[in-house]
Amino acid sequence: MPLADVVDPLNAILESFGGPLLVVLFYWFRFHTMKGTRSFTTRPLFLFGLAVFITPFLVTYAFLPDKLSPLAAVWLLMFAWLIPVAPKAWRKFCQELAGIPVRAFALRDALAASPFQVAPDDMQSLQRKLSRVGYQVDDFRATQSTAIQSRFLKISALMLHLERWAAEHDAFMERNSDLYAELLAVYDSLCFRTVRVLKSSAEIYGAIMEDSQVEPDDWQALDQLSTRHSAVSQLQLAAQTAAGCMLEDLRKDMDSLLNNLLLFAARAALAGEWTFARSRKRLGAIGFVLEPAPPGIVKVVAVVAAFAFVWCLAWLLGSGKVVHMPGDQYVGMMRTLLMTPLYLIVNFWLVYYFKRQYAFANETIFGRLPVGFILTIGLWSALILFPIQAAFDFYQFPQKPYLDVVLHELPLLTFPWGIAAMAALLVQDSTWGRRSRKTRRMRDGLVFGGGMTVLLWVLLGIHQVSPMPVMEVVDNVSGWAFFWSFVLPTFAFGFIIGYALIAWLREAAARVPVRSAPLATASLASA
Protein backbone atom coordinates (compact mmCIF):
# COMPACT_ATOMS: atom_id res chain seq x y z
CA MET A 1 0.00 0.00 0.00
CA PRO A 2 1.45 3.42 -0.96
CA LEU A 3 2.28 5.68 1.94
CA ALA A 4 0.18 8.46 0.41
CA ASP A 5 -2.97 6.35 0.87
CA VAL A 6 -2.36 6.44 4.61
CA VAL A 7 -1.07 10.00 4.94
CA ASP A 8 -3.79 11.74 2.92
CA PRO A 9 -6.75 10.45 5.00
CA LEU A 10 -4.79 11.18 8.18
CA ASN A 11 -4.15 14.75 7.04
CA ALA A 12 -7.83 15.17 6.19
CA ILE A 13 -8.87 13.96 9.64
CA LEU A 14 -6.38 16.19 11.45
CA GLU A 15 -7.38 19.22 9.39
CA SER A 16 -11.01 18.70 10.40
CA PHE A 17 -10.62 17.61 14.01
CA GLY A 18 -7.06 18.51 15.03
CA GLY A 19 -7.82 22.12 15.96
CA PRO A 20 -10.96 21.36 18.03
CA LEU A 21 -9.12 18.51 19.73
CA LEU A 22 -6.29 20.85 20.80
CA VAL A 23 -8.82 23.34 22.19
CA VAL A 24 -10.61 20.58 24.12
CA LEU A 25 -7.35 19.21 25.55
CA PHE A 26 -6.11 22.65 26.57
CA TYR A 27 -9.29 23.53 28.49
CA TRP A 28 -9.57 20.00 29.83
CA PHE A 29 -6.33 20.60 31.73
CA ARG A 30 -7.49 24.09 32.77
CA PHE A 31 -10.60 22.53 34.35
CA HIS A 32 -8.48 20.39 36.69
CA THR A 33 -7.59 22.93 39.38
CA MET A 34 -6.50 20.41 42.02
CA LYS A 35 -5.16 16.90 42.06
CA GLY A 36 -7.97 14.44 41.56
CA THR A 37 -10.58 17.02 40.55
CA ARG A 38 -12.66 14.26 39.01
CA SER A 39 -12.94 12.40 42.34
CA PHE A 40 -14.75 15.28 44.07
CA THR A 41 -18.02 14.58 42.24
CA THR A 42 -19.81 11.87 40.30
CA ARG A 43 -18.71 11.06 36.77
CA PRO A 44 -21.91 12.30 35.01
CA LEU A 45 -21.77 15.59 36.93
CA PHE A 46 -18.10 16.01 36.14
CA LEU A 47 -18.64 15.41 32.43
CA PHE A 48 -21.56 17.83 32.38
CA GLY A 49 -19.56 20.59 34.09
CA LEU A 50 -16.62 19.95 31.77
CA ALA A 51 -18.85 20.08 28.68
CA VAL A 52 -20.43 23.37 29.79
CA PHE A 53 -16.96 24.80 30.49
CA ILE A 54 -15.49 23.86 27.10
CA THR A 55 -18.53 24.61 24.91
CA PRO A 56 -18.10 28.44 24.61
CA PHE A 57 -14.45 28.07 23.59
CA LEU A 58 -15.27 25.31 21.11
CA VAL A 59 -18.12 27.32 19.58
CA THR A 60 -15.81 30.33 19.28
CA TYR A 61 -13.26 28.18 17.45
CA ALA A 62 -15.97 27.09 14.99
CA PHE A 63 -16.26 30.69 13.75
CA LEU A 64 -12.61 31.72 13.90
CA PRO A 65 -11.22 29.56 11.05
CA ASP A 66 -13.37 31.55 8.61
CA LYS A 67 -11.17 34.57 9.38
CA LEU A 68 -7.98 32.88 10.65
CA SER A 69 -6.04 29.74 9.97
CA PRO A 70 -6.81 26.78 12.30
CA LEU A 71 -3.42 27.10 14.00
CA ALA A 72 -3.90 30.83 14.62
CA ALA A 73 -7.40 30.16 15.99
CA VAL A 74 -6.03 27.58 18.43
CA TRP A 75 -3.32 29.96 19.65
CA LEU A 76 -5.83 32.80 20.03
CA LEU A 77 -8.11 30.65 22.19
CA MET A 78 -5.18 29.56 24.34
CA PHE A 79 -4.18 33.19 24.92
CA ALA A 80 -7.83 33.96 25.78
CA TRP A 81 -7.19 32.16 29.08
CA LEU A 82 -4.93 35.05 30.09
CA ILE A 83 -7.89 37.44 30.12
CA PRO A 84 -8.35 38.63 33.73
CA VAL A 85 -11.22 37.34 35.87
CA ALA A 86 -13.69 36.12 33.22
CA PRO A 87 -12.23 32.67 32.29
CA LYS A 88 -11.48 31.81 35.93
CA ALA A 89 -14.94 32.92 37.05
CA TRP A 90 -16.49 30.79 34.29
CA ARG A 91 -14.44 27.79 35.43
CA LYS A 92 -15.49 28.30 39.04
CA PHE A 93 -19.13 28.49 38.01
CA CYS A 94 -18.87 25.28 35.96
CA GLN A 95 -17.12 23.46 38.79
CA GLU A 96 -19.82 24.48 41.23
CA LEU A 97 -22.40 23.41 38.65
CA ALA A 98 -20.74 20.00 38.62
CA GLY A 99 -20.62 19.80 42.42
CA ILE A 100 -16.85 20.19 42.76
CA PRO A 101 -15.92 19.80 45.62
CA VAL A 102 -19.36 20.03 47.30
CA ARG A 103 -20.31 16.43 46.51
CA ALA A 104 -17.27 14.93 48.23
CA PHE A 105 -17.58 17.18 51.29
CA ALA A 106 -21.30 16.45 51.63
CA LEU A 107 -20.65 12.71 51.42
CA ARG A 108 -17.87 12.99 53.98
CA ASP A 109 -20.19 14.79 56.41
CA ALA A 110 -22.89 12.18 55.81
CA LEU A 111 -20.37 9.47 56.72
CA ALA A 112 -19.31 11.34 59.86
CA ALA A 113 -22.92 11.66 61.03
CA SER A 114 -24.07 8.15 60.12
CA PRO A 115 -24.09 5.16 62.48
CA PHE A 116 -21.21 2.75 62.07
CA GLN A 117 -21.02 -0.96 62.72
CA VAL A 118 -18.04 -3.13 61.89
CA ALA A 119 -19.10 -5.88 59.51
CA PRO A 120 -18.84 -9.40 61.01
CA ASP A 121 -16.56 -10.47 58.16
CA ASP A 122 -14.18 -7.62 59.01
CA MET A 123 -14.05 -8.17 62.78
CA GLN A 124 -11.68 -11.14 62.68
CA SER A 125 -9.35 -9.32 60.29
CA LEU A 126 -9.37 -6.26 62.57
CA GLN A 127 -8.67 -8.36 65.67
CA ARG A 128 -5.66 -9.98 64.01
CA LYS A 129 -4.44 -6.64 62.67
CA LEU A 130 -4.73 -4.80 65.99
CA SER A 131 -3.37 -7.64 68.10
CA ARG A 132 -0.04 -7.18 66.33
CA VAL A 133 0.36 -3.79 68.03
CA GLY A 134 -0.92 -5.05 71.38
CA TYR A 135 -4.45 -3.64 71.21
CA GLN A 136 -7.35 -5.79 72.34
CA VAL A 137 -10.69 -4.85 70.83
CA ASP A 138 -12.62 -5.73 74.02
CA ASP A 139 -10.28 -3.78 76.32
CA PHE A 140 -12.26 -1.16 78.29
CA ARG A 141 -9.90 -0.85 81.25
CA ALA A 142 -8.88 2.77 80.73
CA THR A 143 -11.34 5.54 81.53
CA GLN A 144 -13.00 7.10 78.48
CA SER A 145 -11.62 4.28 76.34
CA THR A 146 -15.11 3.67 74.91
CA ALA A 147 -14.95 6.96 72.96
CA ILE A 148 -11.37 6.19 71.96
CA GLN A 149 -12.21 2.66 70.85
CA SER A 150 -15.22 3.73 68.74
CA ARG A 151 -13.00 6.08 66.75
CA PHE A 152 -10.14 3.64 66.57
CA LEU A 153 -12.30 0.81 65.24
CA LYS A 154 -13.83 3.10 62.60
CA ILE A 155 -10.37 4.27 61.51
CA SER A 156 -9.06 0.70 61.43
CA ALA A 157 -12.06 -0.51 59.40
CA LEU A 158 -11.53 2.30 56.89
CA MET A 159 -7.84 1.50 56.57
CA LEU A 160 -8.67 -2.20 56.12
CA HIS A 161 -10.97 -1.48 53.17
CA LEU A 162 -8.56 1.05 51.67
CA GLU A 163 -5.89 -1.62 51.83
CA ARG A 164 -8.19 -4.03 49.99
CA TRP A 165 -8.98 -1.43 47.32
CA ALA A 166 -5.26 -0.83 46.85
CA ALA A 167 -4.68 -4.59 46.52
CA GLU A 168 -7.37 -4.70 43.83
CA HIS A 169 -5.43 -2.02 41.89
CA ASP A 170 -8.24 0.51 42.17
CA ALA A 171 -7.52 3.38 39.75
CA PHE A 172 -8.10 6.09 42.37
CA MET A 173 -5.81 4.37 44.87
CA GLU A 174 -3.04 4.09 42.30
CA ARG A 175 -3.34 7.73 41.23
CA ASN A 176 -3.27 8.89 44.86
CA SER A 177 -0.73 6.40 46.18
CA ASP A 178 1.32 9.19 47.78
CA LEU A 179 -1.62 10.42 49.86
CA TYR A 180 -2.57 6.86 50.77
CA ALA A 181 1.01 6.16 51.88
CA GLU A 182 0.92 9.28 54.08
CA LEU A 183 -2.37 8.20 55.66
CA LEU A 184 -0.98 4.70 56.22
CA ALA A 185 2.13 6.06 57.93
CA VAL A 186 0.02 8.27 60.21
CA TYR A 187 -2.25 5.33 61.02
CA ASP A 188 0.68 3.07 61.94
CA SER A 189 2.04 5.76 64.24
CA LEU A 190 -1.39 6.28 65.77
CA CYS A 191 -1.80 2.56 66.50
CA PHE A 192 1.29 2.41 68.70
CA ARG A 193 0.44 5.73 70.30
CA THR A 194 -3.08 4.55 71.14
CA VAL A 195 -1.78 1.43 72.89
CA ARG A 196 0.82 3.47 74.79
CA VAL A 197 -1.66 6.13 75.93
CA LEU A 198 -4.34 3.64 76.99
CA LYS A 199 -1.87 1.53 78.96
CA SER A 200 -0.36 4.61 80.62
CA SER A 201 -3.73 6.08 81.57
CA ALA A 202 -4.92 2.70 82.85
CA GLU A 203 -1.85 2.36 85.05
CA ILE A 204 -2.26 5.92 86.38
CA TYR A 205 -5.90 5.44 87.30
CA GLY A 206 -5.19 1.97 88.72
CA ALA A 207 -2.44 3.34 90.96
CA ILE A 208 -4.66 6.18 92.21
CA MET A 209 -7.51 3.81 93.01
CA GLU A 210 -5.25 1.31 94.72
CA ASP A 211 -3.49 3.96 96.82
CA SER A 212 -6.77 5.62 97.82
CA GLN A 213 -8.59 2.33 98.42
CA VAL A 214 -11.23 3.20 95.84
CA GLU A 215 -13.20 0.48 94.12
CA PRO A 216 -12.20 0.07 90.44
CA ASP A 217 -15.63 1.10 89.18
CA ASP A 218 -16.34 3.85 91.71
CA TRP A 219 -15.63 6.88 89.52
CA GLN A 220 -17.60 9.22 91.79
CA ALA A 221 -15.25 8.47 94.67
CA LEU A 222 -12.30 9.01 92.36
CA ASP A 223 -13.58 12.47 91.44
CA GLN A 224 -14.04 13.36 95.12
CA LEU A 225 -10.32 12.81 95.72
CA SER A 226 -9.66 16.15 94.04
CA THR A 227 -11.51 17.98 96.84
CA ARG A 228 -9.02 16.93 99.45
CA HIS A 229 -6.20 19.32 100.29
CA SER A 230 -3.47 16.90 101.21
CA ALA A 231 -0.23 16.73 99.25
CA VAL A 232 -1.03 13.17 98.16
CA SER A 233 -4.44 14.23 96.84
CA GLN A 234 -2.89 17.07 94.86
CA LEU A 235 -0.40 14.65 93.29
CA GLN A 236 -3.25 12.29 92.47
CA LEU A 237 -5.17 15.17 90.90
CA ALA A 238 -2.17 16.15 88.78
CA ALA A 239 -1.73 12.55 87.62
CA GLN A 240 -5.45 12.27 86.85
CA THR A 241 -5.34 15.53 84.85
CA ALA A 242 -2.29 14.35 82.90
CA ALA A 243 -4.03 11.09 82.01
CA GLY A 244 -7.14 12.98 80.88
CA CYS A 245 -5.03 15.33 78.74
CA MET A 246 -3.31 12.38 77.06
CA LEU A 247 -6.66 10.84 76.20
CA GLU A 248 -8.03 14.16 74.94
CA ASP A 249 -4.99 14.77 72.72
CA LEU A 250 -5.31 11.24 71.38
CA ARG A 251 -9.00 11.83 70.61
CA LYS A 252 -8.22 15.05 68.73
CA ASP A 253 -5.55 13.33 66.64
CA MET A 254 -7.97 10.51 65.87
CA ASP A 255 -10.62 13.01 64.78
CA SER A 256 -8.12 14.73 62.50
CA LEU A 257 -7.07 11.46 60.86
CA LEU A 258 -10.68 10.30 60.64
CA ASN A 259 -11.62 13.54 58.88
CA ASN A 260 -9.00 12.86 56.21
CA LEU A 261 -9.90 9.20 55.90
CA LEU A 262 -13.60 9.91 55.43
CA LEU A 263 -12.88 12.41 52.66
CA PHE A 264 -10.38 10.05 51.03
CA ALA A 265 -12.87 7.17 51.14
CA ALA A 266 -15.67 9.39 49.81
CA ARG A 267 -13.48 10.50 46.88
CA ALA A 268 -12.48 6.90 46.17
CA ALA A 269 -16.13 5.84 46.09
CA LEU A 270 -17.14 8.76 43.85
CA ALA A 271 -14.25 8.10 41.47
CA GLY A 272 -14.95 4.38 41.22
CA GLU A 273 -18.70 4.46 40.56
CA TRP A 274 -20.94 6.13 37.99
CA THR A 275 -23.82 7.12 40.27
CA PHE A 276 -24.06 8.69 43.70
CA ALA A 277 -26.25 5.81 44.92
CA ARG A 278 -23.64 3.21 43.97
CA SER A 279 -20.94 5.25 45.70
CA ARG A 280 -23.00 5.25 48.91
CA LYS A 281 -23.54 1.50 48.55
CA ARG A 282 -19.80 0.95 48.25
CA LEU A 283 -19.22 2.94 51.44
CA GLY A 284 -22.04 1.05 53.15
CA ALA A 285 -20.02 -2.15 52.68
CA ILE A 286 -17.40 -0.69 55.06
CA GLY A 287 -19.97 -0.46 57.86
CA PHE A 288 -21.63 2.95 57.46
CA VAL A 289 -25.42 2.95 57.71
CA LEU A 290 -26.42 5.55 55.11
CA GLU A 291 -29.99 6.56 54.41
CA PRO A 292 -31.15 6.31 50.78
CA ALA A 293 -30.17 9.40 48.87
CA PRO A 294 -33.05 11.71 47.88
CA PRO A 295 -33.60 12.31 44.17
CA GLY A 296 -30.72 14.22 42.62
CA ILE A 297 -30.58 16.62 39.72
CA VAL A 298 -28.73 14.17 37.46
CA LYS A 299 -31.68 11.79 37.30
CA VAL A 300 -34.13 14.66 36.78
CA VAL A 301 -32.07 16.09 33.94
CA ALA A 302 -31.53 12.68 32.34
CA VAL A 303 -35.26 11.91 32.39
CA VAL A 304 -36.30 15.31 31.05
CA ALA A 305 -33.66 15.19 28.31
CA ALA A 306 -34.69 11.71 27.19
CA PHE A 307 -38.38 12.60 27.26
CA ALA A 308 -37.85 15.86 25.33
CA PHE A 309 -35.76 14.12 22.67
CA VAL A 310 -38.32 11.32 22.16
CA TRP A 311 -41.19 13.83 22.11
CA CYS A 312 -39.49 16.02 19.50
CA LEU A 313 -38.63 12.98 17.38
CA ALA A 314 -42.25 11.79 17.51
CA TRP A 315 -43.44 15.33 16.64
CA LEU A 316 -41.14 15.50 13.63
CA LEU A 317 -42.32 12.13 12.39
CA GLY A 318 -45.99 12.91 13.02
CA SER A 319 -46.06 16.41 11.51
CA GLY A 320 -43.69 15.79 8.61
CA LYS A 321 -46.42 16.19 6.00
CA VAL A 322 -47.72 19.46 7.47
CA VAL A 323 -44.60 21.17 8.84
CA HIS A 324 -41.63 21.97 6.60
CA MET A 325 -38.44 23.28 8.16
CA PRO A 326 -37.09 26.52 6.67
CA GLY A 327 -33.53 26.66 5.43
CA ASP A 328 -31.55 23.43 5.56
CA GLN A 329 -34.09 20.70 6.42
CA TYR A 330 -31.57 18.39 8.10
CA VAL A 331 -30.10 21.15 10.31
CA GLY A 332 -33.62 22.30 11.18
CA MET A 333 -34.57 18.86 12.42
CA MET A 334 -31.33 18.55 14.37
CA ARG A 335 -32.04 21.95 15.90
CA THR A 336 -35.44 20.78 17.11
CA LEU A 337 -34.05 17.52 18.49
CA LEU A 338 -31.15 19.15 20.35
CA MET A 339 -32.24 22.65 21.36
CA THR A 340 -35.51 21.62 23.03
CA PRO A 341 -33.82 19.20 25.47
CA LEU A 342 -31.05 21.78 26.02
CA TYR A 343 -33.61 24.41 27.04
CA LEU A 344 -34.83 22.13 29.82
CA ILE A 345 -31.44 20.74 30.82
CA VAL A 346 -29.76 24.13 31.21
CA ASN A 347 -32.69 25.81 32.94
CA PHE A 348 -33.42 22.99 35.37
CA TRP A 349 -29.74 22.77 36.28
CA LEU A 350 -29.42 26.54 36.76
CA VAL A 351 -32.52 26.76 38.95
CA TYR A 352 -31.34 23.76 40.98
CA TYR A 353 -27.86 25.25 41.41
CA PHE A 354 -28.89 28.78 42.42
CA LYS A 355 -31.69 27.65 44.71
CA ARG A 356 -29.36 25.35 46.63
CA GLN A 357 -26.40 27.70 46.77
CA TYR A 358 -27.75 31.22 47.31
CA ALA A 359 -30.35 32.69 49.65
CA PHE A 360 -31.68 35.19 47.09
CA ALA A 361 -33.11 32.25 45.09
CA ASN A 362 -35.36 31.14 47.97
CA GLU A 363 -38.36 32.54 49.79
CA THR A 364 -37.76 35.26 52.37
CA ILE A 365 -38.30 34.62 56.06
CA PHE A 366 -41.85 35.94 55.57
CA GLY A 367 -42.57 33.42 52.81
CA ARG A 368 -42.46 35.91 49.93
CA LEU A 369 -41.39 34.71 46.51
CA PRO A 370 -37.97 35.84 45.18
CA VAL A 371 -39.43 37.82 42.29
CA GLY A 372 -36.09 39.25 41.19
CA PHE A 373 -34.54 35.79 40.91
CA ILE A 374 -37.54 34.38 39.05
CA LEU A 375 -37.42 37.15 36.45
CA THR A 376 -33.65 37.22 35.93
CA ILE A 377 -32.59 33.55 36.08
CA GLY A 378 -33.48 33.24 32.40
CA LEU A 379 -30.72 35.71 31.51
CA TRP A 380 -28.09 33.10 32.47
CA SER A 381 -29.86 30.56 30.30
CA ALA A 382 -29.96 32.98 27.37
CA LEU A 383 -26.23 33.70 27.68
CA ILE A 384 -25.36 30.00 27.75
CA LEU A 385 -27.65 29.00 24.88
CA PHE A 386 -26.98 31.98 22.60
CA PRO A 387 -23.69 30.60 21.13
CA ILE A 388 -25.37 27.27 20.34
CA GLN A 389 -28.34 29.05 18.76
CA ALA A 390 -25.98 31.22 16.72
CA ALA A 391 -24.17 28.11 15.48
CA PHE A 392 -27.44 26.58 14.28
CA ASP A 393 -28.35 29.89 12.60
CA PHE A 394 -25.11 29.74 10.65
CA TYR A 395 -25.66 26.21 9.34
CA GLN A 396 -29.44 26.30 8.88
CA PHE A 397 -29.52 29.52 6.82
CA PRO A 398 -26.21 29.62 4.92
CA GLN A 399 -27.73 31.65 2.05
CA LYS A 400 -28.85 34.56 4.24
CA PRO A 401 -26.66 37.30 5.80
CA TYR A 402 -25.41 35.74 9.02
CA LEU A 403 -25.55 38.80 11.29
CA ASP A 404 -29.04 39.62 10.06
CA VAL A 405 -30.20 36.09 10.89
CA VAL A 406 -28.62 36.18 14.36
CA LEU A 407 -30.22 39.54 15.21
CA HIS A 408 -33.67 38.48 14.04
CA GLU A 409 -33.38 35.20 15.97
CA LEU A 410 -32.65 36.89 19.31
CA PRO A 411 -36.35 36.86 20.36
CA LEU A 412 -36.14 33.05 20.35
CA LEU A 413 -34.22 33.36 23.63
CA THR A 414 -37.57 34.35 25.16
CA PHE A 415 -38.40 30.66 25.19
CA PRO A 416 -35.55 29.52 27.50
CA TRP A 417 -36.05 32.66 29.59
CA GLY A 418 -39.71 31.74 30.10
CA ILE A 419 -38.89 28.12 30.94
CA ALA A 420 -36.36 29.27 33.55
CA ALA A 421 -38.84 31.72 35.08
CA MET A 422 -41.56 29.07 35.34
CA ALA A 423 -39.15 26.52 36.84
CA ALA A 424 -37.85 29.09 39.37
CA LEU A 425 -41.42 29.94 40.36
CA LEU A 426 -42.66 26.38 40.70
CA VAL A 427 -39.72 25.01 42.72
CA GLN A 428 -40.44 27.44 45.57
CA ASP A 429 -42.01 25.66 48.54
CA SER A 430 -44.48 28.47 49.14
CA THR A 431 -45.87 28.55 45.59
CA TRP A 432 -48.85 26.26 46.30
CA GLY A 433 -48.89 26.52 50.08
CA ARG A 434 -50.00 23.36 51.88
CA ARG A 435 -51.97 21.79 49.07
CA SER A 436 -51.85 18.03 48.60
CA ARG A 437 -49.07 16.56 46.51
CA LYS A 438 -51.46 15.58 43.73
CA THR A 439 -52.96 19.08 43.61
CA ARG A 440 -49.51 20.69 43.49
CA ARG A 441 -48.45 18.41 40.65
CA MET A 442 -51.62 19.14 38.70
CA ARG A 443 -51.08 22.88 39.08
CA ASP A 444 -47.42 22.50 38.12
CA GLY A 445 -48.52 20.81 34.90
CA LEU A 446 -51.15 23.42 34.09
CA VAL A 447 -48.79 26.33 34.74
CA PHE A 448 -45.89 24.82 32.80
CA GLY A 449 -48.05 23.73 29.89
CA GLY A 450 -49.96 27.01 29.79
CA GLY A 451 -46.73 28.99 30.10
CA MET A 452 -45.09 27.24 27.17
CA THR A 453 -48.23 27.83 25.09
CA VAL A 454 -48.16 31.53 25.96
CA LEU A 455 -44.48 31.68 24.95
CA LEU A 456 -45.39 30.11 21.61
CA TRP A 457 -48.03 32.82 20.98
CA VAL A 458 -45.57 35.53 22.06
CA LEU A 459 -43.02 34.32 19.52
CA LEU A 460 -45.72 34.17 16.87
CA GLY A 461 -46.70 37.77 17.66
CA ILE A 462 -43.08 38.93 17.47
CA HIS A 463 -42.73 37.08 14.17
CA GLN A 464 -45.59 39.11 12.71
CA VAL A 465 -43.76 42.35 13.58
CA SER A 466 -40.14 41.27 13.04
CA PRO A 467 -39.91 38.07 10.95
CA MET A 468 -37.67 35.37 12.38
CA PRO A 469 -36.21 32.84 9.94
CA VAL A 470 -36.95 29.88 12.21
CA MET A 471 -40.60 30.91 12.65
CA GLU A 472 -41.13 30.68 8.90
CA VAL A 473 -42.14 27.12 9.73
CA VAL A 474 -45.65 28.42 10.59
CA ASP A 475 -46.11 30.77 7.63
CA ASN A 476 -47.86 28.32 5.32
CA VAL A 477 -49.79 26.40 8.00
CA SER A 478 -53.57 26.82 8.27
CA GLY A 479 -55.29 27.74 11.52
CA TRP A 480 -56.46 24.27 12.49
CA ALA A 481 -53.20 22.70 11.36
CA PHE A 482 -51.32 25.22 13.52
CA PHE A 483 -53.49 24.31 16.51
CA TRP A 484 -53.05 20.54 16.10
CA SER A 485 -49.38 20.68 15.09
CA PHE A 486 -48.06 23.37 17.43
CA VAL A 487 -50.43 24.60 20.15
CA LEU A 488 -51.76 21.26 21.40
CA PRO A 489 -48.36 19.42 21.36
CA THR A 490 -46.71 22.37 23.12
CA PHE A 491 -49.29 22.40 25.91
CA ALA A 492 -49.22 18.62 26.29
CA PHE A 493 -45.42 18.62 26.37
CA GLY A 494 -45.30 21.32 29.03
CA PHE A 495 -48.07 19.71 31.09
CA ILE A 496 -46.26 16.37 31.22
CA ILE A 497 -42.97 18.04 32.18
CA GLY A 498 -44.66 20.09 34.91
CA TYR A 499 -46.78 17.25 36.29
CA ALA A 500 -44.10 14.58 36.29
CA LEU A 501 -40.82 16.40 36.95
CA ILE A 502 -41.27 19.78 38.66
CA ALA A 503 -42.12 18.15 42.01
CA TRP A 504 -39.01 16.01 41.61
CA LEU A 505 -36.92 19.10 40.90
CA ARG A 506 -38.47 20.91 43.87
CA GLU A 507 -37.51 18.09 46.25
CA ALA A 508 -33.98 17.84 44.87
CA ALA A 509 -33.38 21.61 45.04
CA ALA A 510 -34.66 21.82 48.62
CA ARG A 511 -31.62 20.01 50.02
CA VAL A 512 -28.84 22.23 51.38
CA PRO A 513 -25.29 21.11 50.49
CA VAL A 514 -22.01 21.88 52.18
CA ARG A 515 -20.68 25.04 50.50
CA SER A 516 -17.15 24.64 51.80
CA ALA A 517 -15.33 22.78 54.52
CA PRO A 518 -11.85 22.87 55.99
CA LEU A 519 -9.62 20.13 54.62
CA ALA A 520 -7.29 18.97 57.36
CA THR A 521 -4.05 17.39 56.28
CA ALA A 522 -2.93 14.01 57.49
CA SER A 523 0.20 15.53 58.99
CA LEU A 524 -1.93 17.11 61.72
CA ALA A 525 -2.58 13.67 63.12
CA SER A 526 1.03 12.60 63.19
CA ALA A 527 2.01 14.47 66.33
Provide DSSP, 147-212: HHHHHHHHHHHHHHHHHHHHHTT-HHHHHTHHHHHHHHHHHHHHHHHHHHHHHHHHHHHHHHHHHT
- Number of domains present in the structure of the chain: 3
So what's the pLDDT on residue 526?
42
- Looking at the fold, whether 281 and 311 belong to one and the same domain comes out as no
Q: Residue 460 domain-assigned?
A: yes
- Looking at the fold, whether 14 and 61 belong to one and the same domain comes out as yes
Q: Positive or negative, the Cα torsion across 21, 27, 32, 37?
A: negative
Q: Does the global pTM surpass 0.95? A: no
DSSP 122-141: HHHHHHHHHHTTT--TT---
Q: Residue 73 domain-assigned?
A: yes
- Looking at the fold, whether 148 and 21 belong to one and the same domain comes out as no
- Looking at the fold, whether 181 and 268 belong to one and the same domain comes out as yes
Cis amide leading into 416 (omega within 30): no
DSSP 229-288: -SHHHHHHHHHHHHHHHHHHHHHHHHHHHHHHHHHHHHHHHHHH-SSHHHHHHHHHTTTB
- Looking at the fold, whether 385 and 441 belong to one and the same domain comes out as yes
- Looking at the fold, whether 505 and 389 belong to one and the same domain comes out as yes
- Of 231, 265, 286, the one marking the end of a domain is 286
- Looking at the fold, whether 210 and 252 belong to one and the same domain comes out as yes
CA gap 342, 350 in Å, rounded: 12
Q: Which helix (H) or strand (E) holds 97?
A: helix 86-97
pLDDT tens-place values along the chain, 527 residues long = 565 555 566 566 666 677 788 888 999 999 988 888 888 888 888 888 898 899 888 888 877 766 678 788 888 888 988 888 888 999 988 888 888 888 888 889 888 888 888 877 777 787 777 777 667 666 534 333 467 777 888 888 888 889 889 888 888 888 888 999 999 899 888 888 877 777 777 666 666 555 555 555 555 555 555 555 544 455 555 666 676 677 778 788 888 889 999 999 999 999 888 888 888 888 888 888 887 666 667 778 888 888 999 988 888 888 766 777 888 888 888 888 889 899 999 999 899 888 887 888 888 766 678 888 889 898 988 888 898 888 888 888 888 888 888 888 898 899 899 999 999 998 887 777 777 878 888 999 999 999 999 999 999 899 888 888 888 888 877 878 888 888 899 999 999 999 988 888 888 777 555 445 544 554 444 43
CA gap 264, 162 in Å, rounded: 9
Q: Residue 514 domain-assigned?
A: no
- Of 99, 129, 150, the one marking the end of a domain is 99
CA gap 67, 393 in Å, rounded: 18
Q: Residue 520 domain-assigned?
A: no
- Looking at the fold, whether 84 and 127 belong to one and the same domain comes out as no
- Looking at the fold, whether 269 and 163 belong to one and the same domain comes out as yes
Residue 291 is given by DSSP the state: P
- Looking at the fold, whether 157 and 94 belong to one and the same domain comes out as no
Q: Residue 303 domain-assigned?
A: yes
Domain of 42 in residue numbering reads as 3-99
What are the C-alpha distances in Å from 61 to residues 31, 85, 88, 147, 401?
A: 18, 21, 19, 59, 20
Q: Residue 526 domain-assigned?
A: no
- Of 286, 307, 329, the one marking the end of a domain is 286
- Looking at the fold, whether 412 and 504 belong to one and the same domain comes out as yes
Which class for 215: exposed (0-12), middle (13-18), buried (19 or more C-beta within 10 A)?
exposed
Please, are residues 327 and 469 in contact by the beta-carbon 8 Å criterion? Answer: yes
Q: Residue 355 domain-assigned?
A: yes
List, in order, residues 6 or more apart from 423 with CB less than 8 Å away.
347, 348, 351, 502, 505
Q: Residue 397 domain-assigned?
A: yes
Helices (H) then strands (E): counts for the chain: 21, 0
List, in order, residues 6 or more apart from 212 with CB less than 8 Å away.
221, 222, 225, 236
CA gap 522, 62 in Å, rounded: 46
- Looking at the fold, whether 273 and 356 belong to one and the same domain comes out as no
